[in-house]
Amino acid sequence: MSELLGLSPASARLAAEPVPATAAKVNPNKRVCAVLFDLLLVSALGWVYTVLSHGHGGTAPFETLAFAFLCFRDSFGGRSPGKRLVGLVVVDGDGNPIAWLRSLQRNAILFWGRLAGAVVTAQGLAYIVGFAALALVVTEYALASYSASGLRLGDRFAGSRLVDDHPERSGSMYALLSVVIFIAIAALAVLQKKA
């Protein structure tokens, strides 16, 4: 049955039994690759929205939906599309995959700037919101990468942690994939501006 659902053997095991509390810290390159893949999906959908609305739909409706996706992205068995690609899962304190409420608690802190940026119209305030959001993302990355626990603020707030289904996979492969995904996101941003 797990093969039909596209679950790896480790994922199928995770669905059946909690992850031990001693799970190792996740490689930062895998974290970055997973979030960039999720942002690539949002960027691709944003480009489609812009093309279909002929640029007249405004960004607030799409940005609100994008914010909802980014906040609830880990609600599906503890995995966003990017985490599924990389082999990561978000679990609660008991080792079970998180659901929608913990996903919201975990991710809202990371993506609030996206929603605020869509509704803030004053140019100076938009720069302040953007800078604050960037500072928070850098803080989250530093905590996840350099703290002994590997927990970012969102994990601490939600009582969750990230677990790697495939710790044997090299993080350098994901660093290269992250660069490719980042270039794709930048290309979509250019295309969206031209649409």
Residue 12 belongs to a domain: no
Q: Which residue has the higher pLDDT, 189 or 110?
A: 189
8 A C-beta contact, residue 36 and residue 180? no
Q: What is the pLDDT of residue 161?
A: 94
Question: What are the pLDDT digits (tens) for 102-138?
Answer: 999 999 887 776 666 656 666 677 777 778 878 888 8
Q: What is the pLDDT of residue 115?
A: 61
Residue reference for tokens 């289904």: 165
pLDDT of 1 higher than 50: no
Residue 93 belongs to a domain: yes
Q: What is the pLDDT of residue 102?
A: 95
Q: Which stretch, 38-47, 81-90, 137-146, has highest mean pLDDT?
A: 81-90
Residue 176 belongs to a domain: yes
Residue 9 belongs to a domain: no
pLDDT of 21 higher than 70: no
Nearby residues of 146 by Cβ (< 8 Å), 6 or more positions away? none
pLDDT of 5 higher than 60: no
Q: What is the pLDDT of residue 20?
A: 52
Q: What is the pLDDT of residue 134?
A: 82
Which phi and psi (to 5°) does residue 143 adopt? -65, -45
Which phi and psi (to 5°) does residue 79 adopt? -130, 130
Q: What is the mean pLDDT of residues 165-174?
A: 91
CA distances from 11 to 8, 18, 79, 125, 129 (A): 5, 11, 10, 44, 38
Q: What is the pLDDT of residue 122?
A: 65
Total domain count, the chain: 1
146: containing domain: 24-194
pLDDT of 154 higher than 80: yes
* pTM for this prediction: 0.79
Task: Give the count of beta carbons closer than 10 Å to the beta carbon of residue 116.
Answer: 18
Closest Cα to residue 179, out of 37, 21, 16, 17?
A: 37
Residue 4 belongs to a domain: no
Residue 1 belongs to a domain: no
Residue 2 belongs to a domain: no
Residue 10 belongs to a domain: no
